[in-house]
Amino acid sequence: MSPDAVKLYDVTEATWPPARSWQQGPWTLRDGAGGGKRVSSATVNGPFTDADIAEAEAAMRMQEQRPLFMIREADAALDAALDARGYNLIDEVMLYVTPVETLTDKPIPRVTCFNIWEPLAIMAEIWAGGGVGPARLAVMERAQVKTGILSRWNEKPAGVAFAAVHGDVAMVHAVEVLPHQRKQGVAEWMMRAAAFWAAKQGATHLAVLCVTRNKPANALYTKLGFTPVGTYHYRQHPE
């Protein structure tokens, strides 16, 4: 059975984990240690009140984090409550999934993609150029079963990606292709390399996240056979 959005929310958490998470009232709160919105946002686990929202805001400020909530598909009530409090809607994200065999039907050309962990200096350099710095590399390090993917094209480094497994689903994060190597199939080969790696880990499905405003990436994932299964977005305090 293909994973649904609820399962992919769990896979996202496990394959891109916060430095710390804890339960407080109806919330799951996270300390992202500078690793970005996904690992720093709060999520709701049940009914809440305005007082609960205020307590979550205070807890996030105690972590020196601007109040930020992830809004999943079942969170319409929270979305409306935060909208009424003046929160900004940012970064709608699409969740995609496909069976692993969709992307293992072609052999990868020799010396095109390499599975490497720990990241090489050139991998960290390419990620840094795309805004994935040390704090996000630390997020990758916290994942349990993982790999980095380094791509070469035109006999030079071309791109990087990160993949990790949770249960029977592997998820790809932090796909970055150097500007002069784009539109040559590099990202496709890295996704295929992730699928081959995932199959070796016993995964049956490959998943990926993409902000909806990134039209080229969404088009690529659709072309490769990924199916959209859900969305989430964030509500951020306007301070």
Mean pLDDT over 145-165 rounds to 98
Q: Give DSSP secondary structure letters for 95-135.
A: EEEEEGGGGSSSPPPTTSEEEESSPPHHHHHHHHHTT--HH
Task: Examine the domain organization and report whether 104 and 60 are in the same domain.
Answer: no
Mean pLDDT over 21-30 rounds to 98
**For the chain, how many structural domains are there in total?**
2
Q: Which of 79, 94, 109 is the last residue of a domain?
A: 94
Q: What is the pLDDT of residue 200?
A: 98
Indicate if the alpha-carbon torsion angle 178, 105, 11, 140 is positive or negative. negative
Mean pLDDT over 116-123 rounds to 98
Task: Examine the domain organization and report whether 129 and 160 are in the same domain.
Answer: yes
d(CA 98, CA 2): 8
Query: Is 228 buried (19+), middle (13-18) or exposed (0-12) by CB count in 10 A?
Result: middle
Residue 88: pLDDT above 90? Answer: yes
For residue 123, being part of any structural domain is answered with yes
Task: Examine the domain organization and report whether 136 and 220 are in the same domain.
Answer: yes
Per-residue model confidence as pLDDT tens digits over 30-52? 999 999 999 999 999 999 999 99
Per-residue model confidence as pLDDT tens digits over 171-186? 999 999 999 999 999 9
d(CA 70, CA 65): 14
Give the pLDDT band (50/70/90) at residue 1: confident
Residue 79: pLDDT above 90? Answer: yes
Task: Examine the domain organization and report whether 45 and 129 are in the same domain.
Answer: no
Give the pLDDT band (50/70/90) at residue 239: confident
For residue 158, being part of any structural domain is answered with yes
Query: Over the chain, what is the mean pLDDT?
Result: 97
d(CA 124, CA 138): 11
For residue 173, being part of any structural domain is answered with yes
